[in-house]
Amino acid sequence: MRIIAGTHRGRRIAAPKGDHTRPTGDRVREALFNLVGPVDGASVLDLYAGSGALGLEALSRGARRCVFVESDGVACRVIRANLEVLGLTGALVLQRDAIAVLQEERTAGRRHDLVLLDPPYERWSALERRLGELLPAIVTDDGLVVVETDAQVEPELPLDPVTTRRYGSARLTLFSS
């Protein structure tokens, strides 16, 4: 995998070994950021971060900060190593459950300009309702939420749908606050 654009364009990034994570491919990441547009100065929340590829891409493209949330310890170590190798700043890596972090963000009144959601495809239906309850409170006015799911799934959240696109076995759905 590599960074697609920004200050670290073309730099390789590591991904955790095994089948615990499903890194978002270069083509889908490029399409995602083409849909989102500029992220200069944005506060990004990368939930179910896995390899961290989405948040790393956002930082390379000028995001001010990114909070990576991933429950797997090996994946968190890979994200930290990528941040160190790339020399990217403004990042926080939390080895925690995404729902618990969302509850804390809401309670603390912290809001983000861009929320990236890439949970395990098979868990989306179990997560959708709870995510829908928590996300609106943590997205800034004019903020975006991007959900990556299996191509057959059309996520629904209590936010304004912007677009949904299929890329092979993946679907990207954008919502605005």
Q: What is the pLDDT of residues 147-160, one digit of tens each?
A: 999 999 999 999 99
Residue 10 lies in a domain: no
pLDDT at 18 exceeding the cut of 80: no
176 band by pLDDT with thresholds 50, 70 and 90: very high
Handedness of CA 141, 101, 120, 3 (dihedral sign): positive
Radius of gyration of the chain (CA): 15
User: Per the domain annotation, does 7 fall within a domain?
Assistant: no
In a domain, 9, yes or no: no
> Could you tell me which residue, 83 or 16, shows the higher pLDDT?
83
Nearest 10 degrees: CA dihedral of 30, 36, 37, 38?
-100
Task: Give the CATH number of the domain where residue 140 resides.
Answer: 3.40.50.150
Residue 86 lies in a domain: yes
- Residue 121 falls inside a structural domain: yes
Average pLDDT over residues 57-70: 97
pLDDT band at 40 (very low <50, low <70, confident <90, very high): very high
pLDDT at 71: 95
87 Cβ neighbours under 8 A, 6+ residues apart: none
Tell me, yes or no, whether 3 lies in a domain: no
Residue 18 lies in a domain: no
Domain count, the chain: 1
Mean pLDDT of 82-103: 96
The domain in which residue 145 lies consists of 26-176
**Residue-level pLDDT at 21:** 58
pLDDT at 122 over 60: yes
pLDDT of residue 76 exceeding 90, the answer is: yes
How far apart are alpha carbons 151 and 170 in whole angstroms?
4
Residue 5 lies in a domain: no
Calculate the alpha carbon distances from 62 to 7, 45, 172 in Å: 8, 14, 21
